[in-house]
Amino acid sequence: MAFNIEILDDANNIDLITIYDGNSEIKFTNFGMRIVDWKVDGRSIVLGPNENDDLVQYYEENPYFFGATIGRYGGRIENGTFELNGQNYKLEQNDAKHNLHGGSNGLHSRVFDYEIINEDKIVTVIYTADMKSEDDYFPGNIQIRVTHRYDLIQMMWSIHYEAASTEDTLFNPMNHVYFNLNKTNQTIENHRIHNEIEFYPLKENQIVKSLDTVNINEEIGKEILTFRDVFESGLEQIKQFNGIDHPVKLGDESFTVSNDELEIEMKTDQDHVVIFTLNDVDWNDHDHTIQEHGGFTLETQSIPDDIHLLGDSAPSILRNGKTFSSETSYQIKTKDK
Ligand code: G6D
């Protein structure tokens, strides 16, 4: 078991952390607490920069939040405003009129202090930061601790989030990793989704409509869907957004997606996952390796805009005096040939 650290930007303390053994390799950076790459048997299974990209520039330009830790709030808050304890808060409107992924000063834009613990075949990276209300206009200063752990035997990446705030606030973090299990530069259409997809329809402005859900498996009449089935389903919501960009209800203990060779199993204590299938690509990533439907996210979090849908009982409300704690893991399994 081994790990190494490469300094990418000395002036800004940006590092690339590589953890590897014979079968797999995972790379993180303290810039936005990102997963940069994850290779299994030499194949990259997450979207990210190429070897010859300038990593910092790549992430500064990338509009899709590849691999980034998102916070304080994953997804859109309608009109960038919300009310909490009778007080109205105005956030940055960085996505049309909405606040998306916490705004431009969100966690993805920051460089974190970190420490590494190296145990037998398990490497743990612990990031810490303080986020001030004046940074992103949410109430309260929060202390955040995010732990990325890689188990080289299990090929399992787990993320633990912890936070405490000086005032009642919203905290709804997630990781914006995109997976594609294919060896070649194919889209995700061939991937099978082993769980039912029960999603929350969106309004035209991409904000969740209501708490009423639609079950794609029931609509199509198929137990196990491929992404191709979903894209070709003709369902209004899928046509409208050119793919999935929806919160999905999690019913089972785990959520699994596979192709013929690999399987990714996600486990989380969250009740929802936002799945986004890279629906419109209008960014030139120099090498042209990013394509429409070239990856899917598994963003485990509370339903975006829950503060408007659920008010005082929104799970994203973090009360002063309470500690937020949540865990998600992604495990790669190779299928028997
Ligand atoms: C998110 O749901 C959103 C998408 O609409 C957005 O385009 C993407 O992040 C960058 O998952």
pLDDT tens, residue by residue, 102-112: 999 999 999 99
Position 244 confidence tier, pLDDT thresholds 50, 70, 90:
very high
Domain hosting residue 187, numbered range: 3-334
Query: Which is the closest atom of ligand 1 to the Cα of 274?
Result: 11
Best probe residue, ligand 1, of 64, 281, 296 (max atoms within 8 Å of C-beta): 64
Position 52 confidence tier, pLDDT thresholds 50, 70, 90:
confident
pLDDT for 299: 98
Question: For residue 39, what are the β-bridge partners?
Answer: 25, 44
Span from the CA of 99 to the centroid of ligand 1 (angstroms): 12
Number of domains in the chain: 1
List, in order, residues 6 or more apart from 212 with CB less than 8 Å away.
200, 201
Ligand 1, atom 11: closest residue by C-alpha: 276
Span from the CA of 129 to the centroid of ligand 1 (angstroms): 24
What's the rounded Cα separation, in Å, for the pair 314 and 324? 14
Query: Which is the closest atom of ligand 1 to the Cα of 65?
Result: 10
pLDDT tens, position by position, 138-181 = 999 999 999 999 999 999 999 999 999 999 999 999 999 999 99
For residues 268-296, average pLDDT = 90
Share of the chain above pLDDT 70, in %: 98
Ligand 1, atom 2: closest residue by C-alpha: 245
Query: Which is the closest atom of ligand 1 to the Cα of 304?
Result: 2
CATH number (domain holding residue 285)? 2.70.98.10
CB 231 near ligand 1, within 6 Å: no
Residue 337 has pLDDT above 60, yes or no: no
Residue given tokens 């790669």 in the structure block: 332
What's the rounded Cα separation, in Å, for the pair 189 and 228? 4
Query: Which is the closest atom of ligand 1 to the Cα of 276?
Result: 11
Span from the CA of 98 to the centroid of ligand 1 (angstroms): 12
